[in-house]
Amino acid sequence: MSQFILHKANTRGHANHGWLNAHHSFSFANYYNPERMHFGVLRVLNDDLIDGGMGFGTHPHDNMEIITIPLAGAIAHKDSMGNSAVIKNGEIQVMSAGTGVSHSEFNANADEQLNLLQIWLFPNKKNVTPRYDQQTLDVEARHNNFQQILSPNADDAGVWIHQDAWFSLGKFNAGFETEYKIKKAGNGVYAFVINGEVTINGQVLSKRDGLGVWDTDKISFKANTADAEVLLMDVPMELN
């Protein structure tokens, strides 16, 4: 029997720092909710709005797989491995922090707001050599399709990470129905609605709602509105 947990958008943690307006699906920084610590190895899902030219100065990370998906605008990234890049909507960035890496992230545009999802997964191996990657995605390939954008395999579609996790993005016509098969036994799926309204396993979800489903091998999906856009995060439920 499948189990689920529903996180409505308006129940997320919220921190407005002026230049940064952040919503946290799970406990983060000063937002602490013992019932919202993680979904399997998915530890952080932050929905950040960053004012033009503003951002996070150089700061360190370790032992975490960090995935950044810009939803609107562009982010300028610089890190201690020598990478310097601008990542925009339609692209994905991944960083394996491993033994330690420092980076800065700023809104690359002075006059446009940046909206990004920052996602942290616990790694399946500690103290790996830090690495960085980014990829431009074929946005058309996610029309009425869950397009894989991340996996554990370097030779598979999308970027890869040190975890048995698969991410998929889809954008759907109203009324489109499909099933998503979970990639690995023991994994669950956390669905995050970027836009529109969808129904997953009978639960109606609106913009920025999250639904975690586990103890199953598939989920049912239906788009209720024409602009429905969803990120699926297929992750191990057991912490390593």
Instruction: Give the residue among 136, 201, 200, 203 at the shortest CA–CA distance from 172.
Output: 200
Binding-site member from 14, 16, 62, 90 for another protein (CB under 8 A): 62
Q: With binding defined as CB under 8 A, does residue 202 bind another protein?
A: no
Size of the site for another protein (CB under 8 A): 23
Q: With binding defined as CB under 8 A, does residue 95 bind another protein?
A: no
Give the chain's end-to-end CA distance (angstroms, integer). Answer: 24
Strand order in the sheet with 55-61: 55-61, 101-107, 74-79, 84-88
| Listed ranges 84-92, 106-114, 120-128, 153-161: which one lies at the site for another protein (CB under 8 A) | 120-128
Instruction: Give the residue among 168, 143, 167 at the shortest CA–CA distance from 223.
Output: 143
- Tell which positions 126-155 bind another protein, by CB under 8 A: 127
Q: With binding defined as CB under 8 A, does residue 104 bind another protein?
A: no
Q: Give dist(CA 112, CA 76) in Å, integer.
A: 13
Q: Between residues 27 and 135, which has the closer beta carbon with respect to another protein?
A: 27
Q: Between residues 11 and 145, which has the closer beta carbon with respect to another protein?
A: 11
Q: With binding defined as CB under 8 A, does residue 122 bind another protein?
A: yes
Determine whether the annotation assigns residue 105 to a binding site: yes
Q: With binding defined as CB under 8 A, does residue 29 bind another protein?
A: yes
Q: With binding defined as CB under 8 A, does residue 64 bind another protein?
A: yes
Q: How far is the CB of 232 from another protein (least distance, A)?
A: 23
Determine whether the annotation assigns residue 17 to a binding site: no
Instruction: Give the residue among 193, 211, 210, 223 at the shortest CA–CA distance from 71.
Output: 193
Q: Between residues 69 and 182, which has the closer beta carbon with respect to another protein?
A: 69
Q: With binding defined as CB under 8 A, does residue 63 bind another protein?
A: yes
Tokens in use for 240? 């390593």
98 φ/ψ sector (left φ>0, alpha ψ -120 to 50, else beta): left
What string of H, E and C letters represents the secondary structure of 7-75?
Answer: ECHHHCEEEECCCEEEEECCCECCECCCCCCCECCEEEEEEEEECCCCEEEEEEECCCEEEEEEEECEE
Residues that bind another protein (CB under 8 A): 27-30, 32, 34, 37, 43-44, 59-64, 97-100, 102, 120, 122, 127
